[in-house]
Amino acid sequence: MLIFVDMFRIENTMTVNLHPLDELIAIETDARAFGFDWPDAVTIIEQAESECLEIREAILQQESTARIHEEIGDLLHTAVSLCLFMGFSPDETLMRVNQKFGDRMAKLKKIAIDKGYSHLRGQDFKTMLALWNEIKHRDEKDQHDDKL
């Protein structure tokens, strides 16, 4: 486990049970305090796009699962970097997306059932995407109406 003291990483033989996200935040914070930081948010987004391309290439090239796993980890790291750079808490960001996704899935299930689907297993992606976009459109309309 790593402990951060005076901007220097030191090995610690004590077991500290940090959640992996908390450990990444600590490492990222330490790097930024040391001066290793992004110049702007757009550069971080470009890095995320690059990581997506690397994941896609690794999948298409049928590279090892370890390589694909590593690239997905790089993408997650980049997303955490963007949260921190923008002054957002990664934990709060995850809580918000969990709430948003959970709410949308509950609505999607209701609409799917109303349309005669008992589940979506075996349905083509086009059908699932149409249901998702219907919910997303309703949510965006509701948000717009709430602002009026």
Q: What are the boundaries of each domain within the chain?
A: 89-148
Q: What does pLDDT average to over the chain?
A: 89
Q: What is the pLDDT of residue 16?
A: 62
What element of type H or E holds 83? Answer: helix 65-85
Choose among 79, 22, 85: nearest CA to 51: 79
Q: What is the pLDDT of residue 12?
A: 45
- Distance separating alpha carbons of residues 6 and 28, to the nearest angstrom: 14
Strand locations in the chain (E): 2-5, 8-11
Per-residue DSSP letters for 90-132?
A: HHHHHHHHHHHHHHHHHHHHHHHHHTT-S--TT--HHHHHHHH
Cβ-based neighbour number of residue 80 at 10 Å:
19
pLDDT in tens, 2-12: 544 444 454 44
Higher pLDDT, 11 or 103: 103
